[in-house]
Amino acid sequence: MAESFKYSGKKGNGGELHQVPSGENEVMTTAQGCPISDNQNSLKAGKRGPSLLEDHIFREKMFHFDHERIPERVVHARGYGAHGYFETYDNFSDVTCADLFQRKGEQTPVFVRFSTVAGNKGSPDLARDVRGFAVKFYTNEGNWDLVGNNIPVFFIQDAIKFPDLIHSAKQAPDRGFPQAQTAHDNFWDFTSLSPESVHMLMWIMSDRAIPRSFRFMEGFGVHTFKLINSNGEEKYVKFHWKPTAGLQSVVWNEALKINGADPDFHRRDLWSSIQAGAFPEWELGVQIFDQEFADNFEFDVFDATKIIPEEQVPVKKIGKMVLNRMVDNFFAETEQVAFCTQNIVPGIDFTPDPLLQGRNFSYLDTQLKRLGGPNFTQIPVNAPRCPMRNFQQDGHMAMHTPKGRANYEPNSWEQSEDNPRACPEHGYKSSSEPVEGDKLRYRSETFADHYSQAIQFYKSQTEVEQTHMRDAFVFELSKVEKLAIRERVVSHLRNVDETLAEGVAKGLGLEEMPDKAEAAMAPRDDLAVSDKLSILKNAPNTFKGRKLGIFCCSGVEDELLEGLLQALKDEGAMYEIVAPTVNGIKTAGGKHIKGNQVIDGGPSVLYDAVAVLLTEEGAKEQAKVPEAKDFVMDAFAHNKFIGFIDGTKPLLDELNMTSKIDKGFVDLDKTTPSDFITQLRDIRFWKRG
């Protein structure tokens, strides 16, 4: 008989609700057969202290997880990278001695890899998923890897649960599907039995999980780190990447169709923008705060399932990153790049965040297996740009040749470049932090509030975004076969927002509402709305970097087309000509225009807005073409702006759309191209929905 679980209704360590078997179950053990007493918390020094190296249970569990995939990454397998530079805005020596922040205007080389988390290498780009946002800074004092995501929180609080999370999200082991999606029983079973995941669930059911482009998404360091200046003074910090082009996502139906039309959509977008010289940019921002703020903040700053709202600690911009060069070889660079959260430089340090502590341990182990040996740091994309001097030697695939006799330290051989010593004055020093308490497996009571920030996030969204979230929950949970799991998720949503929970329950056809999930700590609903958490409240107010799909046929007026292309150029926007055939079109003036896409291969989902410039004869002909009708219908359904001319009306009439013309339709016979582009800065006409 299948084992069933229930909530104990009792608070465990840290006020956490623990799942317990409803009947007798076999005791979980390590691979060596040692019984496990706690599979939820790693071993720590004190209730909020750092994780301990002696935790053999965590070590074995993470070791096996890191080695269970050959040869692709276990997570973040689907990735795309580019080179660029980071330029610091000023001298920030008052808060950190990190070398790259000491001189205004100095540029530090970087390599960035964007990725999805759950999908395999062959999965599509527009999966609903977290996006990895990993940056390797090649500083003068070694490599600093800021390994983050496009969402500032995570599903779990302790790294010991990471293998379980990813196992639940990946394809089921007995059938090998589904992959690159979380719409299945295993994922929702795990997360609904882990209340700490609720805040993250709100984020991944939002439009943040289906970004329009890597260029239009934020990045976050997720964890709280430390900054240390040359006087040893310490401050806490959270890192943010802010795209200068603004935030933008797609709608779910659009994402599904993009995956069919171009599963490499995000890759192609980054490639095309860099090749065109429209280099993507992000500003690096920091939230800096002291111990007093940390002690008085509503939540624990070491809890990776929580944010610090920007309204409470504003983000200070300290530099910008520009991606200006694609890789020379995808395998050599993007596939072999190895990011490790433990790679930091003097002036930056860790905190006891149990998720960060576990990542620091895990990543080095991962790279050892994936890249074949301990010398992966010698692969060019991973090698520091500053000198490396140590006594490490040999090993699989050693790529540089040590010189001299000395391969140990201390030694009495003469001083030379190949005989380095530790430097107490300039070498890396960990921050001093008092550690006390019993050695135990524990989840701090300060980690026990699982719903309050989920409430805040939902309240901070616009009505349009809230509707998208409700629909996302309904879609995902409709793929879940087990009724009890669907009901369990709704029971958690009742702690977030009753209207949301009722909407999801109605969409699922639940006959009655489940009871609210028992909360380890009573949620609070007095947290202020944070507008920075909404995409639509932070609209870009520009069409720069976006793409217009121009569907036209022979006979289009030269002046209109040329004026439109010039207006796009002035805005810094891109375009593609979508034509009836691969040969392109001829304008009314006889000029041949090459088509970038054919109508049956260039659907409107690939564009941020469309212009349909058809002659009356051309419109009548295209009204017989299903793909031409889909081009307009999808643009309408996805709330996009649609430019048209009088000749297009036979196609609109065929679609019964003439009566549906709203302010999202722009008559280019009556509007200048420049005014049309100005309207496109709103990106979508949400009032249509």
Q: For 275-368, where are the E strands, in sequence order?
A: 281-289, 316-326, 348-349
Rounded to whole angstroms, the Cα distance separating 104 from 117 reads 35
Are 47 and 70 in contact, with CB atoms under 8 Å apart? no
Q: What is the number of alpha carbons within 13 Å of residue 230 lying toward its C-beta?
A: 9
Transcribe 625-659 into DSSP letters: -HHHHHHHHHHHHTTB-EEE-GGGHHHHHHTT-GG
Residues 6+ apart with CB under 8 A from 76: 113, 115, 116, 117, 132, 134
At which residue do the structure tokens 């995000």 appear?
A: 266
- Both tokens of residue 137? 């800074």
In Å, how far from its chain's centre is CA 634?
Answer: 26
Decide the pairing of beta strands 574-579 and 547-552: parallel
Q: What is the 3-state secondary structure (H, E, C) of 532-566?
A: HHCCHHHCCCCCCCCEEEEEECCCCCHHHHHHHHH
Residues facing residue 286 across a β-bridge = 239, 316
Asked if 419 is an active-site residue, the reply is: no
Tokens 């082009």 appear where?
Answer: 245
Q: Of the listed 13, 41, 143, 149, which one is catalytic? A: 149
What is the chain's Cα-based Rg?
27
216 and 248 in contact (C-beta within 8 Å)? Answer: yes
CA distance 431 to 436: 16
Q: Where are the beta strands (DSSP E) in 299-379?
A: 316-326, 348-349
- H helix runs in 32-99, sequence order: 56-66
Q: Count of H helices and E strands in the chain?
A: 17, 22
Instruction: Report the alpha-carbon angle 655-621-554, nearest 5.
Output: 120
Element (H, E) at 365: helix 354-370
Q: Which of 13, 41, 76, 83 is catalytic?
A: 76
Q: Is 229 a catalytic residue?
A: no
Contact 593, 577 (CB under 8 A): yes
Instruction: Kindly tell me the burial class for residue 278, based on how many C-beta atoms sit within 10 Å of its own C-beta (0-12, 13-18, 19 or more).
Output: middle
3-state SS class at 51 = strand
Give the DSSP per-residue string, 281-299: EEEEEEEEE-HHHHHHSSS
CB environment 50-86: b (16+ within 10 A), e (fewer):
bbeeebebbbebbbebbeebeeebbbbbbbbbbbbbb
Residues contacting residue 286 through CB under 8 Å, at least 6 positions apart: 227, 237, 238, 239, 240, 315, 316, 318
In DSSP terms, 612 is beta-bridged to 551, 644
Sign of torsion over alpha carbons 199, 170, 217, 256: negative
Residue 325: name the closest of 379, 378, 367, 381 by CA. Answer: 381
State the Cα angle at 178 between 202 and 112, rounded to 5°: 65
Where in the sequence numbering do the catalytic residues fall? 76, 149
